[in-house]
Structure 1
Amino acid sequence: MPPTGARPTLIRGARLADGRAVDVSIADDLVVDVAAPGTAPVPSDSSSVLDLDGYLLLPATADPHAHLDKARSWDAIMPPMGDLRAAIVSWRAYADHMTTDDIVARAHDQALRNLSQGTTAIRTHVDVLRGPQPLRGIDALVEVRGMLRSVMDIEIIALASDDVPTETIESAIDAGADGIGGAAHLAPDPLAELDRFVAIADKRDCVLDMHTDESLDEAVTLGALAERTRGWTRNVSAGHCVRLGTLEPANRDALIAAVVDSRIGVIANPITNLYLQGWNHEVAPPRGLTAARQLLDAGARFAAGADNVRDPFNPLGRSDALETAMLLVVAAHLDVEEAFTAVSSGARDVMALPPAGPAPGAVADLLAIRAHSLIDAVADAPADRVVIHRGSVVSRSSTTLTYPTLTPSPEIAR
């Protein structure tokens, strides 16, 4: 198998999610042909051939809602569990004293963990901080983005609370952020705060990605965001949208219709919202999820992300988009194909990235995983993976399983 960094021009022996065995030809950054086995031209240089017999070949995954600046800080903070506002307080206390180097180290580590699992594009929210150096997080993620530019795409959203001045938010764009976002539903005047972000995004012509209605019982900002950005050509997203999942059907469906009409991308965050929401419900706690089924049925642009990984907002997470897909199946009742689409092509669409995967004309961002089918991949999440970004092998992982008490001891390469 070609080493990391190799640029194969032919992939042989892989199987697609529809069950077909194929040869895939790649030129530069693109897939140029998907053909029946043995029919694609074989390059004279054998090192340009990647044999993936026994692997399922899928589009690489993407995470449209991450917080790389917070990732892997749980052990340093040891925050209280299960409360969104308490998580915010504990994170802010830690963030007031963290250094740029600390953020770089944790974010770089987390991004590589995502990459090893097959994620080649991440949109990360990054806090605009309090104190004399509010752009420490932005500067750190700009540095990490540069360090990893050859192996993955990282998009930075400057995440600001209502106590951050407008000029500081704009300075984050000047420092390298690709867009802005906030949690207007947590502000004393949610609609005024939303209007502030809409005005900044309009003025600076940048991505707008809002944390929206992250609550089981308050629906304030999603409809207003749809109304205020209807007709926009720039990229607009709404993350969480938890309240949408608990609204009465008539109100829910009217709000979804407005979202579809505005072309807002909705980003579910199952692991974090399932963890944070519903702790005060002693009997039959509601699912902390948006209305995924109804959004898809209505034709909404829909994606899902891991959100927080091992920080005050979620102590767990395996940095694997297949975990997110699995939760969409068991908690949101999507089918496996819909769930995987939400963390792959659906995520890239919401992020305004070009289509990727094993299809002619698509970007050669690919995940090969040792599995027989898509349901096998999502169910078992095998660790044997080959990750390709823009035609280059950027990560490889494999496992060996042994049963030492058996005679003879079988050794199974997984």
Structure 2
Amino acid sequence: MTKHLLLEQATTGDGGTTDVLLADGRIAALGPAAATDQRAAGADRLDLAGYLLLPSAVEPHAHLDKALLARRAPNPDGDLTGAITAIRAAYASMDEADVRSRATEALSTALTHGYTAVRSHVDVGTGIGPRALRVLTELRSRAAGLVDLQLVALAGAPIAGAAGRHNRRLLAQAVELGADVIGGAPALDPNPTAATRVLVRAAADAGLPVDLHLDETTDPQMLTLRAFADEVARQGLGGRATASHCVSLGQQDPDGCKEVCRALADSGVAVVTLPQTNLYLQGRAEPTRTPRGLTAVTPLRDAGVTVAGGGDNWRDPFNPLGRIDPFETAALLVAAAHLPVADAWTAVTAHARIALGLPPVALLPGSPADLLAIRASGLDEAVAGASQDRIVLRGGRVVARTSVVHDVVPALEKEMAA
């Protein structure tokens, strides 16, 4: 158990300020009751005047094994095919020490920026096998008190039929090594629908959730989401199934889109949209009337589907950008998916938690004390400005803090004031 901690004068979402008492890893009391609670007498105190206090962020879709590889594994064409080619060529250089170093750096950055839970897909197919997964299971154990790390075994292709035997064996090995979730990219298989069914059944057989890369294309003819929803319902995986990317859903006619959205809602499938990577990769073949590389965020939400937002690739061949920052993802969802700021933040917090099967966090007594304080007067300023001045709490204790000093040349300051 951590020592009790009293957060003083924190700004809340409604613009007011409050004290918050943290005890035994949870929020014990808020407002006047926090300071008068007997546990506050011996508590440490943290002045949060000028900071907005929020639930901590959750990254529902990352690739820690590939993180920070962009310079070493360039993708000159900038498209998905080029990225896949580049990462496969980089496998030989991705030894355990290399994966450990890059993944640790990326995960540390994520924590500093406010993520207290991360789901990372990890390649386990031909060419790399269990090497990266083995390293990341060790990192998961080392980071357990700081970040809740979920590992998705990203199966290689092909996975279906006789040609997929080797990759199915590697996937089974990944489960034995401790993968938390079954994953894969059915579009890379000669028969995407068959691959989708194989992977969902593998998850059901292993008693694990499933999270697939689906329909990562603006081609409306590629649509395996309906088959995924049907198989999830058939295998009883509702509430433990996630479809990531789902770009081609945004290219369907309105009625067809609504029908698929209803099927996803009925089967209990969450959707993770990944704005930065998909805006970067998709639509390059169409220089005019370029399709937007996003799923149908609004129709999905209207249908009652849980829609989470993720960063996906952090500076690798699939995306040379990525600040590993929930405020960056939220800002992209505002600009590209036209979500209100509050809904965009929900996508990287509450909805991401639902997608990962994590308990909810809120500024309420009894909630887990996984919190993020950022210097801002409100959520609009926090998402727009993304100040690096942040304090991250996990289980009621401070696990990361970044302080920012702004120093303006005195003469310039006078000029600006004139």
CA shift at 1:223, angstroms? Answer: 0.7
Displacement of 1:306: 0.1
CA distances 1:287-308 after superposition (whole Å, capped 9, x unpaired): 1001111111221111010000
Change (3 A) 1:40 1:267: farther
Aligned with 1:226 (options 225, 229, 240): 229
Q: 1:44 aligns with which of 17, 41, 46?
A: 41
Identity of aligned residues (%): 41
Q: Distance in 2 between matches of 1:287 and 1:114?
A: 27
TM-score with structure 2 setting the length: 0.93
Unpaired runs of 5+ residues, structure 2, are 159-165
The reply to whether residue 150 of structure 1 matches residue 153 of structure 2 is: no
Q: Give 1:315 shift.
A: 0.2
Q: Deviations over 1:118-145 (max 9, x none)?
A: 01100000000424x6100100111111
SS in 2 for 1:159: strand
In structure 1, give the amino acid aligned to 2:47: D
SS across alignment from 2:71? helix
Question: Does 1:331 pair with 2:331?
Answer: no
Distance 2:369 2:54 in 1: 10
Which residue in 1 is equivalent to 2:212? Answer: 210
Does 1:137 pair with 2:132?
A: yes
Structure 2 equivalent of residue 374 of structure 1:
379
Q: Which runs of 5+ in 1 are unaligned?
A: none
Structure 2 residue 348 is the aligned partner of structure 1 residue 351? no
Q: 1:400 aligns with which of 389, 405, 417?
A: 405
Is 1:309 aligned to 2:314, yes or no?
A: yes
Alpha-carbon deviation of 1:7?
A: 4.5
| Cα separation, 1, equivalents of 2:32 and 2:16 | 8
- What is the root-mean-square deviation of aligned Cα atoms in Å? 1.9
Contact 2:27–2:365 (Cα < 8 Å) also in 1 = yes
1:17 aligns with: 13
Distance 1:129 1:141 in 2: 15
Matched position secondary structure for 1:32: strand
- Pairwise CA distance, 1:355: 0.7
Instruction: Find the partner of 1:250 among 245, 255, 258.
Output: 255
Deviations, residues 35-90 of structure 1 (Å, cap 9, x unaligned)? 248754372335x1121111000000000000000000011112224210111011
Aligned-residue offset at 1:409: 8.5
Does the CA-based 8 Å contact 1:73-1:312 persist in structure 2?
yes
The residue that corresponds to 2:163 in the other structure is none
Structure 1 residue aligned with 2:62, among 47, 66, 74? Answer: 66
Q: What corresponds to 1:100 in structure 2?
A: 96
| Partner amino acid, structure 2, of 1:174 | E
Q: Tell me the equivalent position of 1:389.
A: 394
1:250 to partner: Cα distance: 0.5
The runs of 4+ residues in structure 1 deviating greater than 6 Å are 407-410
Superposed CA offset, 1:241-289 (max 9, x none): 0011111101000000000101101000000000000011111311100
- Preserved contact between residue 305 and residue 324 of structure 1 (Cα < 8 Å): yes
For 2:22, give the aligned amino acid. Answer: I
Amino acid at match of 1:50: L
What residue number does 2:154 align with?
Answer: 159
